[in-house]
Amino acid sequence: MDRVTIKLSKLEIAKIQLNRAIILFLSGEDYVSAITLAGASEEILGKLLKNTGLTNSLEDLVEESQEYQVKEHGEASNKKDIVSLANYYRDRLKHINDGKDLLFSVDYEAAYLIDRAISNYFKITGDETREMISFRELDYFGE
């Protein structure tokens, strides 16, 4: 069998990962892989945005969370705690950590990470793939 060699930019890699995550999510076939693929894509896209001086979906989430906490409680959690909570299940699927079983809403976590990754992708490109459009049309979060 011949080897397949390709050259991909980080943006192309993130797009491929995100599109596959969406396909897996929409099919209901494999939410766990959808989470890990969307999480990897979201992280790459977030770093690409940061490298250009723009905020990414996670940074926006942290800022919005802190603003809400200050308004409602007079003080905000630190950034690290919010990021840890936002990425909790993504990270638990990637690492052994405490070795305990996970019980969680796997479709929600997949949709949440896919949504964050799509936001980053759109912020970079101003465009969406047909997979991304299909996911948005699902209106999972009822927005």
| Span 87-116, pLDDT tens digits | 988 888 887 667 788 888 899 999 999 999
Residue 24: CB partners within 8 Å, gap ≥ 6? 30, 31, 33, 34, 37, 110
Give the pLDDT mean for 24-41. 97
Place of tokens 């964050």: 116
CA 57 – CA 35 distance, rounded (Å): 16
Supply the pLDDT for residue 107: 95
CA terminus-to-terminus distance, the chain: 48
Question: Residue 38: which of 104, 100, 93, 103 has the closest Cα?
Answer: 93
Which of residues 98 and 77 earns the better pLDDT score?
77
Supply the pLDDT for residue 89: 86
Going by pLDDT thresholds of 50, 70 and 90, the confidence category of residue 4 is: very high
Give the pLDDT mean for 79-90. 90
Supply the pLDDT for residue 64: 94
Give the pLDDT mean for 120-125. 98
CA 77 – CA 85 distance, rounded (Å): 11
